[in-house]
Amino acid sequence: MCLLTLLLFQCKQQEVYQDEVYQKPPMDSDPAAPPLSAEESMKKMYLPGGFELELVASEPMIEEPIDIAWDGDGKMYVVELLTYMQDIDATNENEPWSRVSVLEDTDGDGVMDKNTVFVDSLLLPRIILPLDDRVIIGETYTRNLWSYRDTDGDRVADEKELVFETESRFRGNLEHQSANLTWNIDNWLYLSKDAFRFRWEDGQLQIDTMLDAPTGQYGLTQDETGRMYYSRAGGEVVALGFQQHPSYGILEMEGRWADDFEEPWPIIGTPDVQGGEKRLRPDRTLNKFTGVSGQEIFLGDRLPVYGDLFVPEPVGRLVRRATVTTVDGKRVLANPYDKTEFLASTDPNFRPVRAATGPDGCLYIVDMYRGIIQEGNWTREGSFLRPEVKRRKLDENIGRGRIYRVVHKQMKPYPPEKLLAKSSKELVPFLGHPNGWYRMTAQKLLILKKDQTVINQLEAVLKDNESAWASLFSDQDFGIQRLHALWTLDGLGALDRQLLLEKLEDTDARVRSAAIRIGEGYLAKGDEELMAKMNGMIDDPNTEVLIQLVLSAKSYLNREEARKLITAIEESNPANEVIKASAVQTPLEVEELKKKFILVNDRLRASIIRGFETYKGLCATCHGKSGEGIKDLAPPLVGSPRIMGTDLRTPVKILLNGLTGEIDGKSYSVMVSMKNNDDQWIADVLTYVREDLGDGGRRITPGHVKGLRELYQDREEYWTIPELEKEANEYTN
């Protein structure tokens, strides 16, 4: 069907099914938590009318699943964190005992019936990305990435190659590390955090730095044009980063969520929340999203929810569905149900951690199915969680896990098409498949093949601006097929400049926007014809095209040319909030820091900048961008006598062992230990905070950290304010 018809169909279906909300069961505010079989657990799950849940795999076939991904033939790779929180103290968590398994449905009934361990002896793998017959896997605490391949067809990897190597390592809590390497439609590979990206070239990943990027945690997804959606559990942020592509930096806006969007609606009491009592309603249900992870923009064609965002919330035992609309150029997320969730369970061990669009057009949900979901930093002595876990025996439920798929009564799934053996010519039609999984997989495989013989075929697709190019699919979207053909030609390094210029006038706004982005390389070289074309587009009827013009102009035209084009678009669109925000020429923060501290010595300035990068990506999530604090989450740093004062021991001790209890008469979330980071890291963070957010003073050095680390090496408990004040007084006297 054409795009307009498809959109109208979706809107109609959403209006119908959002009213068929399930009847909520009686609330159990303090549920017992014995583990149930998968069949028993499914009886406790609730979905809107028309939707059903099917079991795809469960223990003993899989254990502790955290992520899934499919290769081009539809084989499912499952990441299993076999050492994650096997007891309340996270004993042996950092042992290399985890694995990636490959699951297959050999009889086509939708249920996995064959399981093979693809790679074992892994240390908490957090990245999996199938390429062709190779699979990229990344583990915790290292930035190195490896390609694994099964060369003899037994589903067991027997070839291992290092595809990205660096001495830089992740340190600290595993929840704060990068994950979810994602092949974007622009052929760059992005992570859930970090201001850099990768390109696959000659069997290696080549790194490229970006100006800035949103900071997420576990989970990363993209819509049909490559716009990415992040989530940040630590900062209790359901979704962020979706106003513009991360290659242009960070743009967060007020009103990006509809009213009450941050409120989850569990159907069971959730007393085991790391935020403590302040995160619970009177009925003991979660009052704000806190464990968000593994989100997915659904691009399948077997559910009437195309383009919606699905965000698992394992603490609330639910999955949020969010519709995405545009208001004055700004994307806004909303819950289509009234105080109800898309999927919710009364089983306290239901722990959804990942949603994914499958090759059968359905939505898959990974359920880690366990008692404790929080990492060990949150369950230590003195935490709110520890007695709660012990009381309800949550630490006894380990070694299980389930994978489900959501189906619809009126839309039958189809068996996966095998793409790996197809020729480049055979792959091209899949660039317009109604299921986005096929579109992205076909594009990725075409890039990996580097087959130049398909260029003419791709150009023919791209030039067909109006009518139906020969298709395998009756409901193919030819605009989206042209979009993928454009990015595929770019990825092959074979996009003709003249054809690119023509695509600035494509009938599909998605193609026009992409052509502007791809043309940035020419803009940087001063291509006058392209500049003239862009100037002629300032009256384009599509908001997304205008926003892309502003972003590209700001990034790649010289200041005078950019100013004229941006000003003209701003004046013609005074109500468009995103155009106004995107037009602001923001200075590079690092460059500003260098200017601010130009008179200090090189070593101190380097420490400040390193600390800033860490603060921005980690600490600001809780303490605010400028150290102003965030209500109920973390106290302000600015003006804090514990951080900014003359006592250098207290701030170091807080970072080494964490902090719990009231602070200045107010309750906040627990500050977890950062002792897994090295002495320089801790010194850098505190140096930045004291120098840039405070008034400076005596510098904290790695030597200070080392001495206190050794002094309190046997301490495992969090600090409290009374303890810190008592020790500070004793030390001073």
Do 157 and 30 share a domain, yes or no? Answer: yes
Domain annotation covers residue 485: no
Helix (H, G, I), strand (E, B) or coil at 23: coil
H helix or E strand, kind and range, residue 85: none
Q: pLDDT of 129-141, one tens digit each? A: 999 999 999 999 9
Do 707 and 727 share a domain, yes or no? Answer: yes
Q: Which residue has the tokens 């009381």?
A: 391
Instruction: Select from 449, 480, 511 the last residue of a domain.
Output: 480
The CA distance from 362 to 56, in Å, is: 12
Residues 6+ apart with CB under 8 A from 625: 616
Q: pLDDT of 393-406, one tens digit each? A: 999 999 999 999 99
Judge residue 314's burial from the number of C-beta atoms within 10 Å of its C-beta, 0-12 exposed, 13-18 middle, 19 or more buried. buried
Do 219 and 256 share a domain, yes or no? Answer: yes
Q: pLDDT of 569-608, one tens digit each? A: 999 999 998 898 887 755 456 767 877 887 778 788 888 8
Domain annotation covers residue 456: yes
Domain annotation covers residue 79: yes
Domain that includes residue 202, residue range: 3-408
Do 426 and 396 share a domain, yes or no? Answer: no
The CA distance from 42 to 54, in Å, is: 8
Which pLDDT does position 457 carry in this prediction? 95
Domain annotation covers residue 520: yes
> Structure pTM?
0.88
Number of domain units in the chain = 4
Do 582 and 604 share a domain, yes or no? Answer: no
Instruction: Select from 553, 570, 586 the last residue of a domain.
Output: 586
Domain of 721, CATH number, reads: 1.10.760.10
Do 296 and 167 share a domain, yes or no? Answer: yes
Do 319 and 447 share a domain, yes or no? Answer: no
The CA distance from 483 to 475, in Å, is: 16
Mean pLDDT of 283-306: 96
615's tokens = 């603060």
Q: Which residue has the tokens 């970072």?
A: 655
Do 576 and 607 share a domain, yes or no? Answer: no
Mean pLDDT of 494-514: 96
The CA distance from 240 to 228, in Å, is: 9
Nearest to 178 by CA among 167, 198, 193, 196: 193
Q: Which amino acid is at 402?
A: R
Do 378 and 459 share a domain, yes or no? Answer: no
The CA distance from 716 to 657, in Å, is: 7
Do 162 and 228 share a domain, yes or no? Answer: yes
Q: Does 701 have pLDDT greater than 70? A: yes
Which pLDDT does position 474 carry in this prediction? 59
* Whole-number percent of the chain with pLDDT over 70: 95
Instruction: Select from 376, 408, 440 the last residue of a domain.
Output: 408
Do 81 and 207 share a domain, yes or no? Answer: yes
Which pLDDT does position 97 carry in this prediction? 98
Which pLDDT does position 13 carry in this prediction? 39
Domain annotation covers residue 563: yes
Domain annotation covers residue 291: yes
Q: Does 142 have pLDDT greater than 80? A: yes
Do 264 and 116 share a domain, yes or no? Answer: yes
5's tokens = 């018809």
Domain annotation covers residue 488: no
Domain of 138, CATH number, reads: 2.120.10.30
Domain annotation covers residue 487: no
